[in-house]
Amino acid sequence: MQREMGRGDAPNVVSVRALRQRFGQYLAAVRAGQELIVTRRGKPIARIVPLTPGEVRLAELVAKDNVRRARPGPGFSPEPLETEGPLSDIVLEQRR
């Protein structure tokens, strides 16, 4: 562990190896509101943060099968406008 858990608002920096060895302790720190930065060979590779109250509530509702997560649908991609002159002229014309 490169910084002590629970000290101040700065995120704790932890190596992958240390995270594996003390996963339960680090998970408890995240549950208590701490943020973790995970490093591999001294370089940050991940951030572990606590869930927001809204995320916790959503997970509870999904677990109870009260709601379903939205499925990705077809994206909206309108055809580009071909205009003569600046777009601002079209906007001004539509506002009249």
Is there a domain that residue 4 lies in? Answer: no
Rg (CA), the chain: 24
Global confidence as pTM:
0.57
The helix or strand, by DSSP H or E, that contains position 45, with its residue range, turns out to be strand 43-48
Residue 46's domain comprises: 12-63
Is there a domain that residue 83 lies in? Answer: no
Is there a domain that residue 87 lies in? Answer: no
Is there a domain that residue 70 lies in? Answer: no
Average pLDDT for residues 16-23, to the nearest whole number? 96
Q: What is the CATH number of the domain that holds 34?
A: 3.40.1620.10
Which residues are paired to 44 by β-bridges?
39
Determine the pLDDT at residue 1.
Answer: 42
pLDDT band per the 50, 70, 90 thresholds, residue 9: low
pLDDT, averaged across the chain: 85
pLDDT, tens digit, 9 for 90 and up, residues 22-43: 999 999 999 999 999 999 999 9
Is there a domain that residue 53 lies in? Answer: yes
